[in-house]
Structure 1
Amino acid sequence: MALTDTAARTAKPREKLYRMADAAGLCLEVTPSGSKLWRFRYRFGGKAKMMGLGAYPTITLAKARERREDARRLLANDIDPTAHKQAEKTAQSALAHTFEELAREWYAYNSPRWATSTAAKALQYMEADILPVIGQRPVQEVTRPELVALVRKVEKRGALNVAGKIRQWLSQIFRYGLAKGSVESNPATDLDVVAAIAPRTKNHPHVPLSEIPILLGKLDAAKCDVMTRIAVRLLLLTGVRPGELRHAPWSEIDLESATWTIPAARMKARRPHVVPLPHQAVASLLELKEITGSYPIAFPGRNNRERPQSENTVNKALHQIGYEGRQTGHGFRHLLSTELNSRGYNRDWIERQLAHGDQDEIRDTYNHAHYLEQRRQMMQAWADSIDALCAGLNVVSIKRKA
């Protein structure tokens, strides 16, 4: 006998769960707590199954019968209604999943594997260029034309390196989503095909060695922030990358042994780098320690001492003293390489000092801890030659045997 709405409404709970049948597999399940739940009983693949159709009275008898018929139509097409319901639920959940949620999950998963500077830049560009544009979009709805427009916006302001990174990160985020089942395709593939053509690569500009005394003199005369002056001198005396210097904690620097050991996590080549410190570098670091020694970072930011100095600080100071387009913080590495190679030093010593990788991976692995003492002598001679030049002496480059 078919169930009536009156019977459903007046059904009372009992000590044990019981069911009131309607027709064609529909029944109302009454629990000891008084809940009333619609159930549809059916067979699929030779097995008895049951699926929920909602709670009474929110789902009326008439609505429950509609849902039963929808399930029976699926069965007629050899589709399990329970599996179909779960698939729809998963699809709706994925649609509600925003791109920002997926992107931040991808970042949290990958950032511990990156160098600190890489993680910071990835987060900076993600929050500045990607998330404001598509962050709140359902991740399943993001299209390739949207991503092309996003990247072109970055290219138009001339930030082609940033655009390249963003293309790479977008593809990785969607690949991560594919692996998780959050998306069914990767709309960020092949974005490089429509990338703007990059201008011919230029080396970071640097002045000739003969002009270094003038540059340092102008820096001192400008009464530039003392930390910035020290940063410029250390870049010149060590050849490290500006990012490696900015993020350096005091714990990496051993002034007694005149050695700075940068862990693999902070290095571009993902291997530890030992930097021998000439006497002049040690003196500059001792001066700096009087100012920032109470902080974890050797070059803390002006407004937030827990964060490193801005990446623009050194280049801005060089710009202010008239060296825009002629000298950058990174350019000191090119100056060092040019000068040391011209003086006949062993190329392997120079490449190791600059923390460049060897194209021969086996040789690179074997040599990674070599040449520290040779480099210490080489860098001390380099620092002495700068001192002599600044003192107005006539310094002659002397060929060294490899």
Structure 2
Amino acid sequence: MASTVEKRGISGDAKMLSDAKVRAAKPRPKSYKLSDANRLFLLVTPSGGKLWRYGYAYDGKQKTLAFGAYPQVSLSDARMKRDEAAGLLAEGHDPNVVKKLKIEATMEAARQTFEKVAREWHENAKAQWASVHAADVIRSLERDVFPTIGELPIGQLTPPLVLAVLREVEARGSIETAKRIRQRISAVFVYGIAQGIVKDDPAEKLGAVLKPLRKGRQPAITDLVPLRKMIIAAEEDYARPVTRLALRLLALTAVRPSELRGAEWVEFEGLNGPEPLWRIPSSRMKGDLDRKDELNGDHLVPLTPQAIAVLKALWPLTGCGPLLFPSNRHTHRPMSENAIGYLLNRAGYHGHHVPHGFRAAFSTIMNEWAEREGKEHDRKVIDLMLAHVPTGKVEGAYNRAAYMPRRRELALSWAAMLTDGLPDPEELSERPSKVMGEHSRRRLPSPVAADFRFPSRMKAA
């Protein structure tokens, strides 16, 4: 019976093919073969295609293995593939089956992306961690790693690719965060090695080339635009609404974190009037015993409309108790001293900005502003707003209520610059929370009405 493929070409004992013969082969009405040695042949189709084929017998059956098309696969490449297939036959393997297994293995390797393996690792490991830490770990990968290398096959990642991810984190000043992320990437690779997905860990040795941690004064972002960017990033975290609002009020008032944590509603005066004020008792202020016993040692913080908006958003959450920022577990105790710091860390700013850093940011930005505006006199006012006692003054002889009108003006300028582009505080209280303990306590009505007024006496409602 006649074959659909015209049996024309060079016989087995004739000369082998050459590049010139392959190039010169022209299409014919029917497909035909040009044979090379050891059952390798070129199939020329009527459309002009030139396809490399290898004929072989396996388990009593005649089979054909495709090697690709000419010129993408050259004559020498086709012979190399033929020799590899012949070697497999000699070992008892069917070359077609081996080829299909390799294709499937390659496809499976492509499916094993870094993000897929990382999420499997996280799911496997999170049982040994606290829930807050487990959430921090996966969030750091989602923020800093997955956008760059998450879709790449994990087996194709190299040290330079991983280092590029870490350099991006370092570039924003988050030196320690970069080190922690390297450890987490390395842990993913160790998991992949154990699962047989990858063979080595390209992140293993990168710790030696990362930037060293800064030492000395507490880190702070002192440029306005990066400062706003950091606040936005931190406020998007799945934190307690109370913690988000604490961060915003700390940034607006530039008080010490300890003074913020212990704030009580009774310390706030005139919240419904034109000149609202936060009077921090001298007993809660940093200083020596003379100040703590001083009659007029209270620190006065003029409140801006932006700060009042924070208090309005906070009132339904904690207005039932004495503290503005109580612990989630114990309402009579202040929030953890680490709560705001952890919030900044989770946003990727560990080692770059701490809660106390808002004071440095306020001082630097406002002093530069005063210099640009030609208001050198404002330097002493800014120091007073930070509760700094000028050189040569003693605690008891310092007028803490001085320059109040100017202090209020500077507070307004600072708040306007700081909150440009930031979301409304009411939105912060409505964002998803990882700990919803506030809802287990009695809540006050939300002050969304334009005519909302705080109680005349700020104490537990």
User: What TM-score does the superposition give when structure 2 sets the normalisation length?
Assistant: 0.40
Structure number, greater radius of gyration? 2
Q: Which has the higher contact order (CA 8 A, sep 6+)?
A: 2
